[in-house]
Amino acid sequence: MSIAQVSVNNGVNVEALLGAREALTDAPEGAKFTWRATCDWINGTHSATTVRGFFGLGEEQSHRTEFRFETDHPEVFASEDNGATPVEVVLAGLAGCLTAGIAAVAQNRNIQLRSVKATLEGGMDLQGILGIDSDVRNGFDGIKVHYDIDADASREDIAALVAQSQKRSAVFDIITNPTDVTVTVA
Amino acid sequence: MKHPGSGTIDVIVIGAGHSGLAISHFLTARSIEHVVLERGEIANSWRRERWDSLRLLTPNWQSRLPDWSYSGDDPDGFMTMSEVVDFIAAYAAATGAPVRTGTTVTSVACLDGGFRVSTDRGDWRCRAVIVASGACNLPVVPAVSAAIPKDILQLTALEYRNPQQLPPGGVLVVGASATGLQLADELQRAGHEVTLAVGEHVRMPRIYRGRDIQWCMHAAGILDQRYDEADDIARARRVPSPQLVGSREQTFMDINLLASRGARIAGRLAGIRDGKALFSGSLRNVCALADLKMNRLLAAIDEWAAQSGQARDVAPAETFPPTRVPRSLCLSLDLKGGDIRSVLWATGYRPDYSWLDDKALDRKGHIRHDGGRGVVPGLYVIGLPFLRRRKSSFIHGAGDDARDLVDHLAGWLGTRTPRSRTCVAV
């Protein structure tokens, strides 16, 4: 291992990740994960979603603690604004996923990060969800993600980090590609 | 006849293309007894599984096999398929390769101390098998093809020959490697409205610093990079073929060219829902990745030129404009309205090993090997992408790989029997 490799620390345990990659190549069943969330309606547009358990590596797993996300709509929608809108949570998911990927790829490429800041924007025409114009989609008409990154690397290497992070991102894939969604009622 | 159509022999080579013939050349040089079994004719895939207008992606001077090279008067040209067939057939004749044409291998079973190779013309027993049956036997077509409306013609690149096979009207070309781009361009010039679905791809200029890109990569040592020196060989082996065409008419055969000629550029075909093709929103990133990778390749060539002192032998360094992605992405396309009449799958190829013993294969049906040496002792494979070197899948890549593998094979045969001729040579 070179000196450069030792000194770079983005807080990512790349050895563990690479080890997991190798182990799961040989045991692909262990790679099958299921992520879960539970949502309870509170009142109006206000809901609380919690996550705790998930399945992976062949058995039930659990977060260290339960995490809770409250979602609501803002006051301009005549709501109480008790939390972020669900679409903002989607932006948070995309930002968290891409930024985690940037840190992991940077560690793997021996690039020391000093600061990473993402600014996200999702455009939306409310004529879709309000049913005013059926040609307008409900969701974002586009998402813009802008990164400001301070790192020990050339401009091109930083661009490559960001590109590679998108290539390996789960949320980027979920947003850019269709997903089969099944909704059932008890 | 020196060798009958069945019996016992030291080595069987499966496939009489450039790879199998290069192997045969080195086996003959070592007096190792062998036959080359060929389902059709010599260079069969080059004869029967290519589209009409295809030319090699490598220039003529680079078409070479062990003790055999291009001798025509157009070293910078690109061979047509019939010229490739002639080149390989002449090599087979010159080397006197013991080819059994019209002999289809139906199974290879790994036995104690060797193999049983069954064919439609009888069975062989042998001590070693070299699989040289190619990397592109079957088209890879995504499962989503099942959801294409029935009145739309579907064709794979393996079946495509020329634009006359397609009905008039719009075509969705899926895939933007060398195959997809070349066919999209041909179809567009034949009057079809083309939509091109673009996933990950490798962009590359035909000419860089006044030289063919293949010359640059060869000179810079890139084509000779070894499999055991690659950072991630599994990934390197999956890299799609570069966006090249065997022509010097334009510097690039890329998305910018197709778009400038009127093609609609969309992202990867991600699904079909309610009769609509859905395209990925990742187009900007796959284009950014391709531009970054291209610039790294060109930077590596620049570095070589500076360090080797050959910078004066090539033109000055160049930079190329990035891929232009449409401001507004095409995310869906109606397949029911009649605008799209056919879909052409240029989504890759894979080898067919349905006849090969499961013991030799991994869970995805690929041969388990280390640089061409199978996990089953005595089994070898040649002619796959980055098998031993970056150039492994090119005609000119067969020679070095064949020499390495026959060296190993000779040693292996030698250690297995004291009477082996190869022991005497040492």
Which of B106, B124, B244, B234 lies closest to B179, judged by CA? B244
Of B100, B68, B71, B74, whose CA–CA distance to B3 is shortest?
B100
pLDDT exceeds cutoff 70 at A5: no
Q: Does B8 touch chain A (CB under 8 A)?
A: no
Full DSSP string of A53-94: EEEETTEEEEEEEEEEEEE---GGGTS---SB-HHHHHHHHH
User: Do B288 and A178 count as a contact with CB atoms less than 8 A apart?
Assistant: no
Question: Residue A17: which pLDDT band, with cuts at 50, 70 and 90?
Answer: confident
Nearest to A171 by CA among A122, A123, A117, A101: A101
Output the CA–CA distances (angstroms, integers) from residue B229 to B243, B286, B302, in the order listed. Answer: 25, 26, 21
The CATH number of the structural domain formed by B139-349 is 3.50.50.60
- CA A143, CA A94: separation in Å to the nearest integer? 10
Check A177 against B280: CB less than 8 A apart. yes
Residues of A in contact with B271 (CB under 8 A): 177-178
Average pLDDT, chain A: 93
Task: For strands B122-131 and B7-14, give the pairing.
Answer: parallel
Q: Show residues of chain A in contact with B330, CB under 8 Å.
A: none
Minimal-distance CA residue of chain B relative to A171: B282
Instruction: Check A166 against B285: CB less than 8 A apart.
Output: yes
Of B130, B125, B109, nearest to B27 by C-alpha is: B130
Domain ranges of chain B: 7-137+351-425, 139-349
> Would you call A126 exposed, middle or buried from its count of C-beta atoms within 10 A (0-12, 13-18, 19+)?
exposed
Q: Does A164 touch chain B (CB under 8 A)?
A: yes
Q: What is the pLDDT, as a whole number, of residue B44?
A: 97
| First CA to last CA distance, chain B | 31
Alpha-carbon distance of B253 to B265, in angstroms, equals 14
Q: What pLDDT does residue A26 have?
A: 83
Q: Which two tokens stand for residue B303?
A: 């570095």
Query: Is the minimum CB–CB distance between A147 and chain B shorter than 8 Å?
Result: no
Plot region of B342 (φ>0 → left; ψ -120 to 50 → alpha; else → beta): beta
Q: Are B13 and B132 in contact (CB under 8 A)?
A: yes
| Per-residue pLDDT, B30 | 95
Interface list for A 17-46 with B (CB within 8 A): 28
**Least confident window among A14-28, A160-174, B72-86, B221-235:** A14-28
Residue corresponding to tokens 């002639």? B86
B:356-395 residues touching chain A, CB 8 A cutoff: 363
Structure token pair of residue A29: 């069943």
A182 touches chain B (CB under 8 A): no
- Cβ contact (<8 Å) for A178 and B273? yes
User: Residue B15 contacts by C-beta under 8 Å, 6 or more apart in sequence?
Assistant: B36, B37, B38, B131, B132, B133, B134, B383
Domain boundaries of chain A, sorted by first residue = 1-30+85-178, 32-83
Q: What is the CATH number of domain A1-30+85-178?
A: 3.30.300.20
Rounded Cα–Cα distance for residues A40 and B36 (Å): 69
A170 and chain B in contact, CB less than 8 A = no
Task: Give the pLDDT score at B5.
Answer: 73
Q: CA B286 from chain center: how many Å? A: 22
- Interchain contact, A28 vs B267, CB within 8 Å: no
Chain A interface, best mutation among B232, B269, B272, B285, by max A CB count within 10 A: B285
Residue B42, phi then psi, degrees to nearest 5: -60, 140
Cβ-based contacts under 8 A for chains A and B: 38
Q: Which of B38, B142, B135 is nearest to B367 (CA)?
A: B135
Closest in B270, B282, B292 to A178, CB measured: B270
Q: What are phi and psi of A27, to 5 degrees?
A: -130, 70
Homologous superfamily, domain B7-137+351-425: FAD/NAD(P)-binding domain (3.50.50.60)
Q: How far apart are CA B184 and CA B329, in angstroms?
A: 19
Which portions of chain B are predicted below pLDDT 50? Answer: 1-2, 417-426
Residue type (1 letter), B236 = A
- Supply A9's token pair: 């620390």
What is the C-alpha separation between A62 and A60, in angstroms, rounded? 7
Torsions phi, psi for A14 (to 5 deg): -65, -35
CA torsion through residues B314, B316, B322, B324, sign? negative
How close, in Å, is residue B268 to chain A by CA atoms? Answer: 9
Closest CA to B101 of B7, B2, B14: B14
Are the beta carbons of A156 and B280 separated by less than 8 Å?
Answer: no
**How much is the pLDDT for B425?**
32
* Contact status, residue B51 vs residue B161, Cβ threshold 8 Å: yes
DSSP symbols for A104-128: HHHHHTT--EEEEEEEEEEE--TTT
Tell me phi and psi for residue A90, to 5 degrees.
-60, -45
A156, A166, A177 ranked by CB distance to B270: nearest? A177
Nearest in space to B414 (alpha carbons), one of B4, B55, B127: B127
- B289 CB near a chain A CB, below 8 Å? yes
Q: What are phi and psi of B305, to 5 degrees?
A: -60, -40
DSSP classification of residue A4: H
CA distance A173 to chain B (A): 8
Enter the tokens of residue B220. 């810079």
The pTM is what? 0.91
Question: And the tokens for B44?
Answer: 């069969």
A139-156 confidence digits (pLDDT tens): 999 999 999 999 999 999
Element (H, E) at B396: none
CA distance B11 to chain A (A): 32
Q: Is A156 close to B295, i.e. CB distance below 8 A?
A: yes
pLDDT score recorded for residue B416? 55
Closest CA in chain A for residue B200:
A167
Closest CA to B229 of B388, B95, B414: B388
Most B CBs within 10 Å, among A141, A176, A179, to test the B interface: A176
The beta-carbon neighbor of A176 closest among B281, B296, B363 is B281
Which chain A residue has the Cα nearest residue B285? Answer: A163
- Other C-beta atoms closer than 10 Å to the C-beta of B2 total 6
- Using pLDDT thresholds of 50, 70 and 90, give the confidence band for residue A1: very low
Q: Is B238 on the interface with A (CB under 8 A)?
A: no
Distant-in-sequence, close-in-space partners of A166: CB < 8 Å, separation ≥ 6: A98, A101, A172, B282, B285
Rg (CA), chain B: 23
* Packed helices A86-108 and A155-167: angle between N→C axes, nearest 10 degrees: 120
| B275 min Cα distance to partner chain A (Å) | 14
Work out the minimum CA distance from A182 to partner chain B, whole angstroms: 14
8 Å CB contact of A159 and B273: no
**Comparing B7-137+351-425 with B139-349, is the CATH topology the same?**
yes
Q: Which single residue is written with the structure tokens 């609509």?
A: B276
pLDDT in tens, A49-91: 999 999 999 999 999 999 999 999 999 999 999 999 999 999 9
CB-based contact B282 A156, cutoff 8 Å: no
End-to-end CA distance of chain A: 56
Nearest CA in chain A to B289: A163
Distance CA A16, CA B291 (A): 31
The whole-angstrom separation of Cα B329 and Cα B306 is: 41
